[in-house]
């Protein structure tokens, strides 16, 4: 399950977009998902936060420091502009495979019947409506099987509600077209194999997903990096496409954006860690990144 499933996750001060009156509390170690960006050509701090794209809604909680940080900024940046209707409306189109490919092209009849039966019996949905969808995106349907709850949400979705309430402008580094194109870089054959393997080993993936969630909640940066480089989690082979190149592209954008605006950036936690992660790439550009207390 090396794509969607493994990647595969804000009201203390008055509503103003200036620097917080009091400096946010720092963290004694690097084990935090919330980082302050200062130095170089910045007039006021910006903030970087690592998210988990999908988890039980009741488990999503935000610290006082994070709430203060988001309220102090001019704009909130996600991987994609979640407030742009065109991204939502275009999602169904861009989720489809290119060149007229469909699921039958990548499975034997026996394999396809297994897939079809699983969607019907376990997921209570028909596979007929998703014949052209990229197999990686179909893995998202397995999320409910990974979690011990019925009410799910994404960390980004909950942050979006807060930003909207505070009337803070929402932006994104990428479009839905670009994000979908990332998965066109991974062969559909490999995606199809990954989807079938996930269904065959759903209990194993429940355990792996739970481990990922616990590492995220612990905010152990080193463990998050180790997890992404562990071949048993199935994401190592796709790091260059799914993380590294995108991180570099975002930093290029930030070199222009940061001097003019103070931002709160919320992106998948995997984008923060490692030598090609946002923390290290921004440091290389001359910015100072300070870990903030986030509990």
pLDDT of 9: 32
- Whole-number average pLDDT of the chain: 86
Compute φ and ψ for 21, nearest 5 degrees. -65, -35
- What the block records as the tokens of 77 is 């940046």
pLDDT of 12: 27
Phi-psi region of 69 (alpha: psi -120 to 50; beta: other; left: phi over 0): alpha
Average pLDDT of span 22-27: 76
- Among 95-109, 161-175, 235-249, 281-295, whose mean pLDDT is lowest? 235-249
CB 254, CB 282: distance < 8 Å: yes
The CA distance from 174 to 275, in Å, is: 22
**Rounded-to-5 percentages of helix, strand, coil across the chain:** 50, 15, 35
- Among 37-41, 85-89, 180-184, whose mean pLDDT is lowest? 85-89
pLDDT of residue 163 exceeding 70, the answer is yes
Please classify residue 104 by burial: count the beta carbons closer than 10 Å to its beta carbon, then call 0-12 exposed, 13-18 middle and 19+ buried. exposed
Q: Are strands 46-51 and 263-268 parallel, antiparallel or unpaired?
A: parallel
Question: What does DSSP assign to residue 35?
Answer: E
Model pLDDT for residues 90-145, shown as the tens digit of each residue: 677 788 999 999 999 999 999 999 999 999 999 999 999 899 999 999 998 998 88
CA dihedral angle for residue 213, residue 218, residue 221, residue 224, rounded to 10 degrees = -20
pLDDT of residue 1 exceeding 50, the answer is no
pLDDT of residue 231 exceeding 80, the answer is no
- What the block records as the tokens of 109 is 């009849």
The CA distance from 29 to 48, in Å, is: 16
Q: Are strands 46-51 and 288-291 parallel, antiparallel or unpaired?
A: unpaired
Question: What does DSSP assign to residue 23?
Answer: P
**Percentage of the chain exceeding pLDDT 90:** 62
- Among 2-16, 193-207, 267-281, whose mean pLDDT is lowest? 2-16
Residues 6+ positions from 29 with CB-CB distance below 8 Å:
291
Alpha-helical (H) ranges within the chain are: 64-71, 85-94, 109-121, 135-138, 143-146, 155-165, 176-184, 188-200, 202-218, 221-228, 239, 245-257, 278-284
pLDDT of 106: 97
Model pLDDT for residues 47-83, shown as the tens digit of each residue: 999 999 889 999 999 999 999 999 999 999 999 998 8
End-to-end CA separation in angstroms for the chain: 30
- What the block records as the tokens of 71 is 């309220």
Q: What is the maximum span of the chain, computed from C-alpha positions, in angstroms?
A: 64
- Among 75-89, 185-199, 220-234, whose mean pLDDT is lowest? 220-234
Average pLDDT of span 264-283: 96
Question: 14 to each of 10, 11, 18, 48, 166, how far by Cα in Å?
Answer: 12, 8, 10, 21, 10
The CA distance from 248 to 277, in Å, is: 8
Q: Where are the domains of the chain?
A: 34-98+147-189+202-291
- pLDDT class of 19 with cuts at 50, 70, 90: very low
Average pLDDT of span 207-232: 85
The number of helices, as runs of H, and strands, as runs of E, in the chain is 13, 8
pLDDT of 238: 59
Average pLDDT of span 25-54: 92
């Amino acid at each position: 399950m090396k794509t969607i499933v493994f990647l595969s996750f804000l009201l203390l001060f008055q509503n103003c977009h200036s620097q917080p009156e009091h400096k946010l509390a720092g963290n004694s170690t690097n084990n935090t998902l919330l980082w302050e960006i200062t130095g170089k050509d910045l007039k006021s701090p910006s903030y970087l936060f690592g998210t988990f794209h999908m988890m039980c809604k009741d488990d999503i909680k935000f610290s006082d420091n994070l709430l203060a940080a988001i309220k102090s900024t001019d704009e909130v940046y996600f991987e994609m502009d979640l407030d742009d209707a065109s991204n939502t409306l275009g999602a169904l189109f861009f989720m489809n495979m290119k060149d007229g490919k469909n699921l039958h092209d990548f499975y034997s009849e026996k394999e396809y019947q297994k897939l079809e039966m699983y969607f019907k019996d376990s997921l209570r949905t028909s596979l007929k409506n998703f014949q052209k969808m990229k197999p990686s995106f179909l893995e998202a349907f397995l999320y409910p099987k990974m979690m011990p709850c019925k009410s799910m949400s994404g960390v980004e979705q909950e942050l979006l509600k807060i930003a909207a309430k505070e009337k803070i402008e929402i932006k994104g580094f990428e479009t839905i077209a670009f994000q979908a194109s990332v998965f066109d870089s991974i062969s559909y054959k490999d995606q199809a194999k990954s989807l079938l393997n996930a269904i065959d080993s759903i209990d194993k993936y429940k355990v792996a997903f739970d481990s990922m969630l616990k590492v995220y909640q612990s905010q152990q940066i080193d463990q998050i990096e180790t997890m992404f480089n562990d071949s048993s989690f199935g994401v190592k082979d796709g790091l260059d496409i799914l993380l590294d190149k995108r991180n570099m592209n975002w930093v290029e954008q930030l070199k222009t954006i940061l001097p003019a605006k103070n931002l709160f950036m919320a992106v998948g936690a995997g984008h923060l860690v490692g030598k090609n992660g946002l923390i290290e790439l921004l440091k290389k550009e001359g910015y100072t990144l300070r870990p903030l207390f986030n509990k």
